[in-house]
Amino acid sequence: MSVTSTAAGSSGVYRVREKGEVRSAEAGAGRGLLRRWAWRSPVHSPRAGGEGLAEAVLLARGLAGEAASRFLEPKLTHLHDPSLIPDLDRAAERLLNALKAGEPVVIYGDYDVDGVTATAILFHTFRAIAPEARVSTYVPHRVDEGYGVHTAALETLAAQGAKVVVTVDCGVSAIAPAKRARELGLDLIVTDHHNPPARLEDLPEAFAVVHPRRPDSRYPFGELSGAGVAFKLAWRLATMHSGAIKVNKGLQTLLLDLLPFAALGAIADVVPLVDENRVIAWAGLGRMRSSPVAGLGALIRASSLDAPKVSSWDVGFKLAPRLNASGRMAHAAAAVELFTTATPERAREIAEDLEKHNHERRAVEAKIFEQAAEMAARAGMDRDDRRAVVLAHAEWHPGVVGIVCSRLVERFGRPAILLALSEGSAHGSCRSIPGYPIVTGLASAAPLLTKFGGHDMAAGLALDAANVPAFVEAFTAHANAAISVEQLTPTLTIDAAADLGELTVGAVKSLEQLEPHGAGNPGVSVLVRGAQIAAPPAPLGATGKHLAMTLRAPGQVSVTRVVGWNWGPRRAELVSGQRVDAVVCPAISTFGGGAKVEPELKDLRLL
């Protein structure tokens, strides 16, 4: 999202852009201690009284009538026809012929959650259609090979007898590998969702390129994850194998059992949870605990998830980090095995190993973040005249720099690129801020790079170490020109305003209908005006990193406890009796028995 002011001062008007959609929001929402505030709705300060809270939020998000009903009641029948994706039927026909003829088929995946789950989706589909089929998987090593389809890997697979290679979550930019595949006699089928080229003639010359956002695509929703594209291919394989739109009972059960993998991929890859991504996430989360795949159950148990239903938060902060730890600290082949061939006993072993890798990843991440934050500040990358953090170091783990980039974006409010130096090369990851497509910045410095690609908000790159200083300056110059100083302060978008007393248990519970939350469907933000801090805030956590405070509505005696995660350092600024406007995420706490409203603090301003 980019926000540009059309008038000076806090009384100006902002235009808020989200993926091409333009909304106006009065800047009267103002600023808090941490962020700029803007209304999500074109209507200034939409009220959200009592039980109407969910309806007010829906209206603020442009959902009313049939659109709201469809959003609140997602159904599998809302999914679009997979045949509308270019080349998908061609790919499905070739794969079915290969499976029936016993030709060796290799699923070439990526090493992140999206790639692993997409690999699992196709593996189980192939085996269900042709149990004796010669199906194998290949995942490149993150450090030794890096992201994408590699010519050397295709040559090895061809030498081993492969006839068809189908990529998942990668391949749309694999021009040279696709050409080599033809020379080797391999039928390369690309399925991907990363940014495609703008021209059809710039696609790889593969047997099929299955992508919902190809330049010639008529597919009605272009924001599928890699796992989502794989699920659509699996669906079409099932209907073509059955010879009818309605598949047989066994394949119908299989497709339902694959939804948890598609949901994992969508949530972990941070695609917008709207349209059919919302349907996939909603349906997949609901089936996650009942999955017949031993590895998924083992991962859930290793993550200590006790709630009856796995949530999108559980995926983002519990399951996904453990799965990613395999590719970051070791080899993602273990995660693929977990979701494909692992027996219950082997699944338990892999899940335990993932837990160990995740602990190791956290320690390495913390060390790199501390070092990178210090380097950025020392280099002046926190100043207004340097609107990007671009750093390189020989001791950084290339499998972890992407996560650290995300933390640097949070810390400094600007795009971040971290490069790991090794043997004359630099490999790294990028994360961006809303309104600045990171791949555009990389493209501006393309002559200095040997490889790059990804999404608007996250990407990867490689270059010669000798070109790093020039790249730092070139990318920073592009960021300086494209990003306004104002954009360096993140925007907090507010759904509605409500009195503190209107945040009842019933009203807050009504918001559960809006889940699962994620990109494109964020958690709800409500502005509470003129509340009074009823008592000195208390520290939370062993180190006081968090805080809890009680707020009282004007003229009221009762108080509401509000939790501020990572607000501990601000505790001294918040004194008893102080009036504040607070933006909160309404939440229910059952700690100590019973249900009570205990909002989470997002930001506040002192009055």
Please give the structure tokens belonging to residue 522. Answer: 């964020």
CA distance 555 to 531: 10
According to DSSP, the residues that pair with 451 across neighbouring strands are: 462
Strand ranges in 139-275 using DSSP code E only, listed in sequence order: 164-168, 187-191, 208-210
- Beta-carbon count within 10 A of 21 CB: 9
pLDDT digits (tens, 9 = 90+) for 170-190: 999 999 999 999 999 999 999
Say what the pLDDT of residue 12 is. Answer: 25
Query: CA geometry: angle at 599 spanning 3 and 276, to 5°?
Result: 60
Q: Which of 1-5, 429-433, 510-514 is least confident?
A: 1-5
Q: Does the pLDDT value for residue 7 go beyond 70?
A: no
Largest CA distance in the chain: 79
Is the link from the previous residue into 516 a cis peptide, with omega within 30 of 0?
yes
pLDDT digits (tens, 9 = 90+) for 367-398: 999 999 999 999 999 999 999 999 999 999 99
CA distance 66 to 115: 35
* Helices 333-340 and 294-302, packing angle to 10 deg: 120
CA distance 366 to 376: 15
- Pick one of 3.40.50.720, 2.40.50.140, 1.10.3720.10, 3.30.450.40 as the CATH number of 2-61+495-606: 2.40.50.140
- Beta-carbon count within 10 A of 441 CB: 26
Say what the pLDDT of residue 308 is. Answer: 87
CA distance 322 to 327: 10
Say what the pLDDT of residue 1 is. Answer: 28
Please give the structure tokens belonging to residue 117. Answer: 């789950």
Instruction: State whether the Cα torsion 356-358-361-365 is positive or negative.
Output: negative
Burial (CB count <10 Å: 0-12, 13-18, 19+), residue 78: middle
Domain spans in the chain, listed from the N-terminal domain onward: 2-61+495-606, 80-290, 379-488
Q: In Å, what is the CA distance from 371 to each residue of 359, 360, 368, 422?
A: 19, 17, 5, 18
Please give the structure tokens belonging to residue 336. Answer: 């693929």
Name the pLDDT band for 6 (thresholds 50, 70, 90).
Answer: very low
DSSP, collapsed to helix, strand or coil, labels residue 548 as strand
Q: In Å, what is the CA distance from 376 to each residue of 93, 107, 387, 459?
A: 52, 40, 11, 20
Query: CA geometry: angle at 189 spanning 185 and 190, to 5°?
Result: 130
Report the CATH architecture of 379-488. Roll (3.10)
Q: Which residue in this structure is represented by tokens 């270059």?
A: 463
Say what the pLDDT of residue 46 is. Answer: 55
Name the pLDDT band for 50 (thresholds 50, 70, 90).
Answer: low
Please give the structure tokens belonging to residue 378. Answer: 């020392």
State the first-to-last Cα distance of the chain, in angstroms, to the nearest integer: 28
Q: Does the pLDDT value for residue 140 go beyond 90?
A: yes
What 3 state SS string does 85-153 have? CCCHHHHHHHHHHHHHHCCCEEEECCCCHHHHHHHHHHHHHHHHHCCCCCEEEECCCCCCCCCCCCHHH
Look at strands 105-108 and 36-39 and give their pairing. Answer: unpaired
Q: Which residue in this structure is represented by tokens 């505030």?
A: 37
Please give the average per-residue pLDDT across 436-451, as a whole number: 95
Q: Which residue in this structure is represented by tokens 């494109």?
A: 520
Burial (CB count <10 Å: 0-12, 13-18, 19+), residue 140: buried
pLDDT digits (tens, 9 = 90+) for 279-324: 999 999 999 999 999 999 999 999 999 888 999 999 999 999 999 9
CA distance 85 to 88: 6
Residue 20 DSSP one-character state:
T
* % residues pLDDT > 90 (the chain): 84
Let me know: does 442 contact 463? Beta carbons within 8 Å: no
Is the link from the previous residue into 554 a cis peptide, with omega within 30 of 0?
no
Q: What is the mean pLDDT of the chain?
A: 91
Let me know: does 245 contact 209? Beta carbons within 8 Å: no
Look at strands 546-552 and 538-540 and give their pairing. Answer: antiparallel
Helices marked H in 315-467: 320-329, 333-340, 344-378, 401-412, 438-444
Q: Does the pLDDT value for residue 5 go beyond 90?
A: no
Please give the structure tokens belonging to residue 181. Answer: 């595949």
CA distance 2 to 440: 15
Burial (CB count <10 Å: 0-12, 13-18, 19+), residue 19: exposed
Q: Does the pLDDT value for residue 21 go beyond 70?
A: no
CA distance 3 to 127: 49
Q: Does the pLDDT value for residue 593 go beyond 90?
A: no
CA distance 295 to 463: 37
Task: Among 57-61, 200-204, 245-249, name the most confident range.
Answer: 200-204
* % residues pLDDT > 70 (the chain): 94
Domain 80-290, classified CATH 3.90.1640.30, yes or no: yes
Q: Which of 39-48, 355-364, 452-461 is least confident?
A: 39-48
**Helix then strand then coil, % of the chain, to nearest 5:** 45, 20, 35
Q: Enumerate residues 6+ apart whose C-beta is below 8 A from 418.
A: 368, 372, 391, 392, 393, 396, 401, 402, 404, 405, 408, 428, 429
- Beta-carbon count within 10 A of 568 CB: 17
Q: Enumerate residues 6+ apart whose C-beta is below 8 A from 128.
A: 250, 251, 254
Say what the pLDDT of residue 15 is. Answer: 27
pLDDT digits (tens, 9 = 90+) for 186-226: 999 999 999 999 999 999 999 999 999 999 999 999 999 99
Q: Which residue in this structure is represented by tokens 């608007």?
A: 456
What DSSP element (H or E) covers 477?
helix 468-482
CA distance 279 to 420: 38
**508 vs 28 pLDDT, higher one:** 508
Q: Enumerate residues 6+ apart whose C-beta is below 8 A from 425.
A: 450, 462, 463, 464, 465
